[in-house]
Structure 1
Amino acid sequence: MRFGVYALGEARGDVELRSLRVEALAKAAVGLSGLIEGLIGEDPGNPDLWLWLGRTRVEEAWRCRPDARARAVQAAAYTSYARTMRSAREPLMRAASMRPDDAVPWEAMLWLALGLDLDREEKDALWDEVWRRCPTLYAAHVARVVHLSPQWGGLPEEMFDFARVSMATAAKEDPRAALLPLAYFEFFVQERSGIIKGTSSWFTAEEIRDVEAAARRWFEGDRPHPRTIEAHNIFGAAFHLADARRPARQHLSRTYGRSSSLPWTYLGTDEVGQYAKACRHLNLIAS
């Protein structure tokens, strides 16, 4: 646990790395938030601990979220889920107040807002807080795409417009080009869930040309972005599902055997299994 505190403290000067690390540490600490509370008891003035606690509670809530279709018969489970999600707000606000320039607590609150289905005005206000502090933060843009998606009550046009504008204003080394295929995944889950039967039924020819154009806008550069692996997963999955083997191999080979939750959770609950299945199909070794 103390290594986690060190890792977050070390990343205070790199908002992208800090965002990635707190996400990974929170997922690893699901079920162990009490231990983080114990560390806070020893060092209550440490903003990294409050950030870690808040993001861990968000992840703990998502992990126990009941199926929406079963909420009528799982009222107690949904109440527990909502209580856990709401409990993340205070530690995240403490972290934000201790480091007013830190965008990462506000990014975490974007996922809290999604989980609690807050109204659009509140979601927009949280996005503004992130954008004022770091207008290029990758994970916050991912959250914003999800907020604007039809699956969560948004409009497809607004979601795609946001993804395109973000991509167009990003530097060539910035992986936000992956927001476009991500928007397609969000769109497909809601709008084509009943007609997707296999890999060839995900993308039309026109849609995959759109993804190809986005991929050409992005160049890793000499110093990969902390979210490079995730972006390659998103592009690789999109090309795999479009039966475009060559670009799928190019992107998935650049993941070096490391899957990311997005986009593989769109294909099923076993994200690692879905990733490995795609790699086998492409004759790549997923370690």
Structure 2
Amino acid sequence: MSFASGSALPPPDFEVASVFPEAAWLRQAAAARDWASIRQYVDGLPREVSRSFAVGVLDAVPGIEGWMREILAATPDDVLALTVLGAREVVIGWEIRTSASAKDVSREQFAGLHAHLRQAEQRLIRATALDPSSDAAWAERLTTAKGLELGQNEARRRYDRLAAHHPHHFNGQGRLLQQLCPKWGGSWEAAHGFARECLLNSPEGAVNGAMVAEVHMEHRLALRGQERDAYLRQAHVHAELAEAAERSVLHPHFRRDYGWVIAQSAFAAMFSLVGDLARAAACFRALGPFASKYPWSYLGDPAAAFVKHRDAALAKG
């Protein structure tokens, strides 16, 4: 399929429910306070399906924390309610902190973040004690470990507990990858090494290879000016991206599991930046109108960045 430059294509659709309609149902059930139906749905998911998706939809519902406290007052051992409340506390804490660089975050903002993360930790520790296989609770504990600055060893311990039950947990891998980057006390050697582990240890056609694209995006972002361009011109960067994409998002057996839009977006962005417009175009075609704000938010306004790079790739690739 070929596209003319400047052809009228739809704007990116960032709505997760457009890709996974169950997100809309979960929101409706939360609005109706239908906990029984939510529990039945989540408990009925196959073991290999990430519960982090459902928790991520629910923890974005404003005010759900009050309802979860009511449920836990009646049933203190409800692992899902503990996890949703813990995740919601994480969301509230990070909203207080904002996504600004640490130097631009006030002491009061950090205090607010840490207060909510400590509340989250209490809930999530109980959740993982009651159910050590709870993928969503362990994934959230990776974020609390990062925000509370518990260190690399503790973060890796938590990831290992998650991976013991869910070895290819895309959401959890993305959270540990952040921790392994220098901005959170890690190193590029550790971050790139982990991304490669995720690629090689996962089945071909799985989303996990996108960790390679994500770590290169993070590495580029940490550089400035001409250093960014020089980084992207390195032959090994292109080679690693191509290898990872061919094993994951461009593989004939690529599966549209939770996270597939982020995976395709990460590769579309990186191939665009390194000038491999043929592979970028393949990723954009697979995406169609769908997009995730990450990683496009790293390149400016997410919608504008998506359209700019999509149009360039499809015109030439």
Report the TM-score range of the alignment, normalised by the length of the smaller protein: 0.7 to 0.9
Mapped pair 1:24 → 2:57? yes
The 1:35/1:201 distance shift into structure 2, 3 A limit, reads: farther
Mapped pair 1:36 → 2:68? yes
* Deviation sequence 1:148-180 (CA, Å, 0-9, x none): 112222111121111112211211022111111
Aligned to 2:193: 161
The 1:53/1:274 distance shift into structure 2, 3 A limit, reads: farther
Partner SS, residue 289 of structure 2: coil
Aligned to 1:151: 183
Cα distance in 2 between the residues matched to 1:91 and 1:273: 39
The one-letter code sitting in structure 2 at the alignment partner of 1:96 is T
Mapped pair 1:11 → 2:42? yes
CA deviation after TM superposition for structure 1 residue 83, in Å? 0.9
- 1:180–1:214: 8 Å Cα contact kept in structure 2? yes
Aligned to 2:3: none
Superposition TM-score, scaled by structure 2 size: 0.77
* Deviation sequence 1:38-57 (CA, Å, 0-9, x none): 34345444321111111111
Aligned with 2:85 (options 34, 49, 53): 53
The one-letter code sitting in structure 1 at the alignment partner of 2:203 is A
The 1:33/1:215 distance shift into structure 2, 3 A limit, reads: same
Aligned to 1:214: 244
Q: CA RMSD in A?
A: 2.6
Cα distance in 1 between the residues matched to 2:123 and 2:54: 17
- 1:8–1:22: 8 Å Cα contact kept in structure 2? no
The one-letter code sitting in structure 1 at the alignment partner of 2:172 is A
Mapped pair 1:193 → 2:227? no
Identity of aligned residues (%): 21
Aligned to 1:244: 276
The 1:182/1:53 distance shift into structure 2, 3 A limit, reads: same
* Higher relative contact order, structure no. (Cα contacts within 8 Å, ≥ 6 residues apart): 2
The 1:118/1:63 distance shift into structure 2, 3 A limit, reads: same
The 1:114/1:223 distance shift into structure 2, 3 A limit, reads: same
CA deviation after TM superposition for structure 1 residue 7, in Å? 4.5
Cα distance in 2 between the residues matched to 1:220 and 1:108: 32
Aligned to 1:64: 96
Mapped pair 1:138 → 2:173? no
* Deviation sequence 1:237-277 (CA, Å, 0-9, x none): 11122232222121123223232243223224x43443344
* Deviation sequence 1:15-46 (CA, Å, 0-9, x none): 543122212332x2255422332343454443
- 1:51–1:91: 8 Å Cα contact kept in structure 2? yes
Aligned to 2:302: 271
Cα distance in 2 between the residues matched to 1:220 and 1:64: 43
Aligned to 1:171: 203
CA deviation after TM superposition for structure 1 residue 87, in Å? 1.4
- 1:236–1:252: 8 Å Cα contact kept in structure 2? yes
Unaligned runs of 5+ in 2: 1-26
Superposition TM-score, scaled by structure 1 size: 0.85
The 1:9/1:51 distance shift into structure 2, 3 A limit, reads: farther
The one-letter code sitting in structure 2 at the alignment partner of 1:114 is K
The 1:25/1:174 distance shift into structure 2, 3 A limit, reads: same
